[in-house]
Amino acid sequence: MEFIHKYLNLKKLNRREKYIVYGVGCLLGLLIIVQFVIWPFFENKNQLARNLQTKKVELGQMRDLQAQYKALEGKMQQSELGVKKRQKGFTLFSFLDQLAGQVGIKDRISSMKPSKTVQKNSNYKISRVEMKLDAITLEQLTAYLYGVETSTNMVMVKKLSISKKDQKEGLINVILQVETVEA
């Protein structure tokens, strides 16, 4: 008020002019309060609401990842049990050879290439066999694949390539890659 009295001589102003000066002063004071007190309060509240929403999304993602981790952990334990239940001395190569004999396609095997891959940070190895079968029927292939996939030895077909051998006889050539996990 001292500022106003010093630079504006209110005594010289009439009543209406005094009300205008006081009104403008109150309006400036109100504008300062809104700008520096109320507006930052609401802006902070909005920022907190945005942060809360972001944290909710992150929590949901973490729960999804936790569920995936538990599912993978369960599958890993199931796989470990499957590997332990195998016959002693099990090899993928001999299993595939024996199964080919049971299905009746052992004489159609043109090649079998075994390989092993050591897993990083693990005690397990991936054993893989690539087989080439020449001039077999689709029924023979189906029986062989069924034997591989339904085996209790945790064996799976990773790749399969089929090409026609002879149109008239219905024979096919097959290249398949089978793998399993070994301890």
Domain boundaries in the chain? 1-85, 92-182
Q: Tell me which architecture the domain covering 92-182 has in CATH.
A: 2-Layer Sandwich (3.30)
User: Is pLDDT of 65 > 90?
Assistant: yes
Condensed to tens digits (0 to 9), the pLDDT of residues 25-63 reads 899 989 988 888 888 888 888 888 899 999 999 999 999
Condensed to tens digits (0 to 9), the pLDDT of residues 117-148 reads 887 777 778 899 999 999 898 899 999 999 99
* Consecutive H or E run containing 14: none
The model scores a pTM over 0.85: no
Whole-number Å distance between alpha carbons of 95 and 172: 23
Contacting residues for 109 by C-beta, under 8 A, at least 6 apart: 97, 100, 131, 132, 133
